[in-house]
């Protein structure tokens, strides 16, 4: 994370879509003109995309039985304990 802008700490929350609608709009507007925030978004993007894919896999897996392994992709297939009702935590 960069220390050049105090708003850069919001980049991760923005990418994970956990800001309020008002905070999202404010950060989006701010980051259009803030190079440090733009850099932070770029730096965090791979991790955010990975987490979005993982979330989608887990949600899809929760729609099916644990034994229906072909529907599981990427990380969720390797971590059945993350899926409700599959194995132990």
| 1 lies in some domain | no
Extract the tokens encoding 60. 């899809």
Q: Is the pLDDT of residue 69 over 80?
A: no
| 42 lies in some domain | yes
| 44 lies in some domain | yes
Q: How far apart are CA 37 and CA 15, in angstroms?
A: 12
Q: How far apart are CA 48 and CA 54, in angstroms?
A: 10
3-state DSSP assignment of residue 4: coil
| 70 lies in some domain | yes
| 88 lies in some domain | no
CA distances from 81 to 5, 30, 53, 58, 86 (A): 39, 40, 17, 10, 6
Q: What is the pTM of this model?
A: 0.60
Q: List, in order, residues 6 or more apart from 37 with CB less than 8 Å away.
A: 5, 7, 8, 10, 11, 27, 30, 31
Task: Find the CATH number of the domain harbouring 38.
Answer: 1.10.10
| 18 lies in some domain | yes
64 — pLDDT class (breaks 50, 70, 90): low
| 71 lies in some domain | yes
82 — pLDDT class (breaks 50, 70, 90): very low
Total number of domains in the chain: 1
| 89 lies in some domain | no
Say which residue, 69 or 13, is predicted with more confidence: 13
Rounded to an integer, the average pLDDT of 24-34 is 93
Domain that holds residue 41: 6-82
């Amino acid at each position: 994370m960069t220390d050049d802008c105090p708003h850069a700490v919001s980049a991760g929350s923005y990418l994970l879509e956990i800001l309020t609608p008002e905070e999202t709009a404010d950060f989006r507007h701010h980051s259009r003109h803030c190079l440090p925030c733009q850099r932070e978004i770029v730096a965090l993007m791979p991790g955010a995309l990975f987490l979005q894919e993982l979330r989608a896999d887990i949600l899809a897996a929760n729609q099916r039985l644990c034994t229906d392994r072909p529907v599981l992709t990427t990380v969720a297939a390797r971590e059945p304990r993350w899926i409700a009702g599959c194995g132990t935590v």
